[in-house]
Amino acid sequence: MTGLPRRGGRPTAEEARALSAQIIAAAIRLFLDIGYRETTFERVAQEANTSKNAVYLRYREKPDLFVAVARELVAQTYEATIFDLDDDLPAPDSLRRVSLALLEAATQPRAVAMFRLISASALEHPEIAQASQGAWAFYIEQIQGYFEHRIRSCLLRLHDPRSSAETFALLLFSQVHVALLHNGNLPSIAEQRAHVDRMIRLFLAGNGAVEMLP
């Protein structure tokens, strides 16, 4: 017979994946609601309605769990269409489209909550900042891939796509991050758009692409 609930025995691969997702969802809620210090494997297990052993089987220590949470939040906010490789727009227009899409992802409530969590807890728990680098590296790699595709298509000229991707990300997110640290409020949409226009001109000029400016 099929379709009956399993009784005892080892969980199926599907059940194991479902439990992993359940644990991550519980960890996200706890990290964002009560903070890094107060989130424990025991609380995660309770929130996920599973055993503490099930959590330990997947993550050796809390920083490992935090890395998984950061990656999941990136996956939830990231849209592959941000870096549309079929985009044949002029460099400023394409960069503007990508920039606004990235800012939209970065200003989602959970993304903002994660930034605040890292900012508030990194000094006391340095492992948080280290763990969050994985999520940052993901975006750098995506931006680098986007740059490399446009370079191959003769739509952009950059000397070093990797360092250019890092510079681009730092310039792009600086306004949002500084605002959140300074007064806790996100810039308005109009302010974000104005920042993007200034940032793109600075980025292209600083990377030897002056002739591509409008």
Distance CA 68, CA 58 (A): 10
The CATH code belonging to domain 80-209 is 1.10.357.10
pLDDT of residue 4: 42
Q: Which CATH class is domain 13-59?
A: mainly alpha
- pLDDT tens track of the chain, all 214 residues? 344 445 556 778 898 899 999 999 999 999 999 999 999 999 999 999 999 999 999 999 998 999 899 888 887 777 766 777 677 888 899 999 999 999 998 898 988 988 888 888 888 888 887 777 877 888 899 899 999 999 998 888 898 999 999 999 999 999 999 999 888 899 999 999 999 999 999 999 887 654 444 4
Residue 165 exposed, middle or buried by CB count within 10 Å (0-12, 13-18, 19+): buried
CB 71 within 8 A of CB 138: yes
What length is written for the chain? 214
Q: What pLDDT does residue 1 have?
A: 39
Query: What distance in Å separates the CA atoms of residue 27 and residue 19, rounded to the nearest whole number?
Result: 12
Q: Are 135 and 74 in contact (CB under 8 A)?
A: yes
CA atoms of 198 and 84, how far apart (whole Å): 22
Q: Which residue has the tokens 């996200």?
A: 28
pLDDT of residue 85: 66
Tokens of 108: 């989602």
Identify the residue whose tokens are 């975006």.
139
Span(s) in the chain for CATH 1.10.10.60: 13-59
| Contact assessment for residue 84 and residue 61, using Cβ atoms and an 8 Å cutoff | no
- Residue-level pLDDT at 70: 86
Backbone angles phi, psi at 192, to 5 degrees: -65, -45
Every domain of the chain with CATH number 1.10.357.10 lies at 80-209
Residue pair 6/88 in contact by the 8 Å Cβ criterion:
no
